[in-house]
Amino acid sequence: MRRVHCGIVPPHLLTRLAALQDPRLSVAARAARHALLELDPLVHERSEALRAPVRRGSAVVGTLRRRIHDAGGREELPGNLVRAEGAPLTGDAATDEAYDGLGSTYRLFSEEYGRSSIDGAGKPLDATVHYGSNYDNAFWDGERMVFGDGDGEIFGRFTASLTVISHELTHGFTQYSTNLQYQGQSGALNESLSDVFGVLVEQRELGQDAGAASWLVGAGIFTPAVEGQALRSLKAPGTAYDDDVLGKDPQPATMADFVDTTSDNGGVHINSGIPNHAFYLAAVALGGKAWKGVGRIWYEAVLSGSLPADCDFPTFARATNDAAGERYGAGSREAEAVAEAWSKVGVPA
């Protein structure tokens, strides 16, 4: 069976690191080469995960159930159980960060949108920390979250960023709600949804309104040696990092700079900057708590049943416009903000 997983670190960054010849970054180069090898054939079949039953119901049932395992530096899942629901702090940063991050993500979907866990049916949330040696990624494998500790030269531990945890866990929500193909524009929308709800989880935990939030994904996982804030920015795609080793953030903010490529499943981690920026523009136009306004619009668009597996940007834009109109009324301030945001990034709706 062909196994696929999608990590938070995009292939173009790993490829650049894997080619390094600098002996001072030899650990990072080896770690990147290993992570690249696993991008295609490891862990769990994403295409099989996409066959999971779609659940669009919103009734809250069950309770939060978390289980954190420790792989102990091995690449074997799940590892040893080290913290279950209700257990006290362990003192291990990665374990406790993963536990808290899963809870924060669950609470956004449950308390704000009425969804029982990521699958709408109370699915327990499982994670494995300390996966592999110097492992340069974090990923959702179709059933559980998996976190590496980083190489120590470019990347630190991946649980240090709440947006990494919530981004990857949102792939589970997408898996159970839309079945978006992980290719081209539908794949970029898949990545964008994870970025969108990833930052909303953080904003809700911090009590930030749209104007005060950083809108960064992956802040805190770079070591101090890297010239960069994070992996991606919804506020200003293309500005998250500009580093001698990593290069410059390649994300476009509008369709005028759409990247036509065959790598990274058609640029799913790159062109996601366009729908990301549309969400940001709508959120700041409306102001206030983004998870309550435009976040709910995006959520309802995802669950509308109108998104085909090969959904492109205009189709998704229409779904958000429809969701805004249905919730707030056609011609409402909210509906106009959503339509204007898509127009500004060059996506016809």
Instruction: Answer yes or no: is 205 within a domain.
Output: yes
**Residues, the chain:** 349
Task: For residues 213 and 297, state if they share a domain.
Answer: yes
Residue 23 belongs to some domain of the structure: no
Read off the pLDDT of residues 13-22 as tens digits, 9 standing for 90 and up: 999 889 888 7
Are residues 97 and 223 part of one domain?
A: no
Q: Are residues 211 and 279 in the same domain?
A: yes
Residues forming a β-bridge with 217:
232
Torsion, Cα of 126, 136, 237, 22 (10° steps): 170
Which residue among 157, 175, 193 closes a domain? 175
Burial of residue 207, with CB atoms counted within 10 A of its CB: 0-12 exposed, 13-18 middle, 19 or more buried: exposed
- Domain end point (choices 175, 196, 215): 175
Q: Are residues 195 and 338 in the same domain?
A: yes
Could you give the CA distance from residue 37 to residue 135 in angstroms, rounded to a whole number? 12
Nearest to 20 by CA among 263, 261, 244, 219: 244
Judge if 328 and 211 occupy the same domain.
Answer: yes
Out of 121, 145, 175, a domain closes at 175
**Would you place residue 37 in the very low, low, confident or very high pLDDT band (cuts 50, 70, 90)?**
confident
- Tokens encoding 286: 């409306």
- Based on the structure, what is the number of domains in the chain? 2
Domain of 260 in residue numbering reads as 184-344
Is the pLDDT score of 88 beyond 90? yes
Q: Which residues are catalytic?
A: 168, 269
Q: Cα 263–311–185 angle (5° rounding)?
A: 25
How many DSSP H helices and E strands does the chain contain?
Answer: 12, 10
pLDDT of residue 101: 98
Closest of 239, 246, 231 to residue 13, by C-alpha: 246
pLDDT range class, residue 47, cuts 50, 70, 90: very low
Decide if 27 is inside a domain: no
CATH code, 136: 3.10.170.10
Q: How far is CA 225 from the centre of its chain?
A: 24
The CATH number of whichever domain residue 195 belongs to comes to: 1.10.390.10
Look up residue 229 and give its two tokens: 């804030």
